[in-house]
């Protein structure tokens, strides 16, 4: 029984909203090159989907990352960003020189592809940190 905390109306409302929130988050992530948006905004939007579920269903939402999962998300997001920087160094470019990756693409395309990787890392990190902050805010005082 998951409805003790919220109500049937809230739960149904969240179920309807969350897929759209997630898709919008991914849209903002993919479209960050050409329109306002990018990894940071996408991460916040993705995190709101999970936080909405936590608000409606309380501590046992049944879906979404746990506290430890959020930590792993945040860390791997930053690791993706830093790894891109070190990778560019390893391929002989400057730190974070996205054009240095040997991809079968024109230089602008290589930059765009590597930028997308970095932005995904930013999105993961921001989403993870949002969830960690939420967990910290609702945690009982020790």
Partner 1 sequence: MNALPVLIVATPLAAALVPPLLALASVRAAKAWSLAAQALCLALSIAALRAVLAGGPLRHALGGWPAPWGIECVLDAFSAALAVLVAGLAVLTTVYAWDWEDRRGPVREGAFQSLFLLLLAGLLGMLAAGDLFNLYVFLEIASLSSYALVAAGPGREAPLAAFRYLILGGAGATFWVLGLGYLYALTGTLNMADLSSRWPAISASPAAAAGLGLMVAGLALKMPVFPLHGWQPGAYAASPPQLMPFIASAGSKVMAYAIFRLLAGTLGSEGQAGRVLEALAPVGLLSVAAGSMLALTQTDVRRMLAYSSVAQLGLLFVGFSLGGRWAVIGVFWHMLAHAVLKSCLFMAAGSVARRRGSCEIDDFAGLGRTAPLTAFCFASAGLALIGLPPAAGFFGKWYLLRGALDAGAWVSLSVVAASGLMTALYVFRLLERMYLAPPPESKRVEPMGPWGAAPMLALAVAAILLGVFNQPLIAAFIEPARLAATGGRG
Interaction site with partner 1 (CB under 8 A): 68, 71-72, 75, 78-79, 82-83, 85-86, 88-89, 93-100
The alpha helices in the chain, defined as continuous H runs, are: 8-30, 39-57, 67-90, 107-138
Judged by beta carbon, residue 36 or residue 92, the one nearer partner 1 is 92
> Least distance from C-beta 62 to partner 1, angstroms?
24
SS3 100: helix
Query: Min. distance of Cβ 71 from partner 1 in angstroms?
Result: 6
Nearer of residues 3 and 112 to partner 1, judged by Cβ = 112
Q: How far is CA 131 from CA 23, 44, 53, 86, in A?
A: 18, 9, 12, 27
CB of residue 57 vs partner 1: minimum separation in angstroms? 24
Nearer to partner 1, 20 or 86 (CB): 86
Of the pair 11, 135, the CB lying nearest partner 1 is at 135
Structure tokens at 47: 């995190």
DSSP code of residue 60:
-
Give yes or no for a contact between 5 and 53, defined as CB atoms under 8 angstroms apart: no
**Distance of closest approach, residue 95 Cβ to partner 1, in angstroms:** 4
Residue in the structure block whose two tokens are 């967990």: 135
């Amino acid at each position: 029984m998951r409805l003790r905390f919220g109500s049937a109306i809230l739960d149904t409302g969240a179920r309807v909203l969350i897929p759209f929130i997630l898709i919008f988050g991914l849209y903002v992530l993919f479209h960050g090159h050409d329109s306002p948006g990018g990894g940071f905004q996408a991460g916040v939007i993705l995190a709101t989907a999970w936080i909405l579920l936590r608000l409606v269903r309380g501590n046992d939402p049944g879906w979404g990352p746990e506290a430890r999962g959020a930590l792993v998300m945040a860390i791997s997001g930053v690791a993706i960003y830093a790894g891109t920087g070190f990778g560019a160094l390893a391929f002989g470019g400057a730190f974070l020189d996205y054009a240095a990756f040997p991809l079968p693409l024109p230089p602008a395309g290589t930059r765009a592809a590597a930028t997308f990787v970095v932005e995904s890392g930013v999105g993961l990190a921001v989403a993870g940190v949002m969830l960690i902050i939420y967990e910290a805010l609702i945690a009982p005082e020790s």
